[in-house]
Amino acid sequence: QKEVEQDPGPLSVPEGAIVSLNCTYSNSAFQYFMWYRQYSRKGPELLMYTYSSGNKEDGRFTAQVDKSSKYISLFIRDSQPSDSATYLCAMIFNQAGTALIFGKGTTLSVSS
Amino acid sequence: ETGVTQSPTHLIKTRGQQVTLRCSSQSGHNTVSWYQQALGQGPQFIFQYYREEENGRGNFPPRFSGLQFPNYSSELNVNALELDDSALYLCASRREREAYNEQFFGPGTRLTVL
């Protein structure tokens, strides 16, 4: 079993839809959770950074962490064609940790 | 624009050759990490440099080596290239080791090994 599991999709939605992206993880020692967006032929860009269980909102994006279930989610409201990208979840054991552990990424396509 | 630059953009090598990839960190960032991203996969951690010292390494063989220079730019060297080394190589820099919330990735170098 991989440490971080993420459904690769692809996921296709119409413009304006609410998108839900998810990751599960196996090691309860993970403490910090991130979501990255990666456009084609670009490096990953940090979208959200969270620590505690619960929700964190930033504009149209909401990150949710449920440590008891070892499950994290990213919600995108009012999705736009510019949101079309690959979304990667990532996590680390603590801030002194050296390695981000990434999921495979979910490819999202938003059609206008 | 993140300020992290990588060169070259693309590279084609043959099996057995050696390659050097370069990363210029964002100004003021003293920590650089390197990742390998195979097609359709998430990035995998290769190693990290903090103030010119390697201070973390992933599950990669010794033929993957690196350097960080006094200006905090960095190099990734891969010897004896194998077909499976074909991937996008990403570097990421951050202001301090703990500052994952301020980590920026470069655009990557796409390496093809024939």
B21-77 tens-digit pLDDT:
999 998 888 899 999 999 999 999 999 999 999 989 999 999 999 999 998 899 999
Q: Which residue of B has its CA nearest to A95?
A: B98
Tokens representing A49? Answer: 């950074």
Q: What is the pLDDT of residues B29-40, one digit of tens each?
A: 889 999 999 999
Identity of the residue in B35, B40, B100 whose CB atom sits nearest the CB atom of A32: B100
Interface contact flag, B45 A100, Cβ < 8 Å? yes
Q: Percent of chain A beyond pLDDT 70?
A: 99
Mean pLDDT within B5-25: 97
Mean pLDDT within A18-47: 94
- How far, in Å, CA of A82 to CA of A29, rounded? 34
Mean pLDDT within A70-83: 97
Look at residues B27, B31, B11 and name the one whose alpha carbon lies nearest to residue B19.
B11
Task: Give CA separation, B6 vs B62, B73, B98, in Å.
Answer: 22, 10, 23
Interface test with A, best of B21, B26, B45 (most A CBs within 10 A): B45
Q: What pLDDT shows up at residue B63?
A: 98
Distance of residue B1 Cα from the nearest chain A Cα, in angstroms: 10
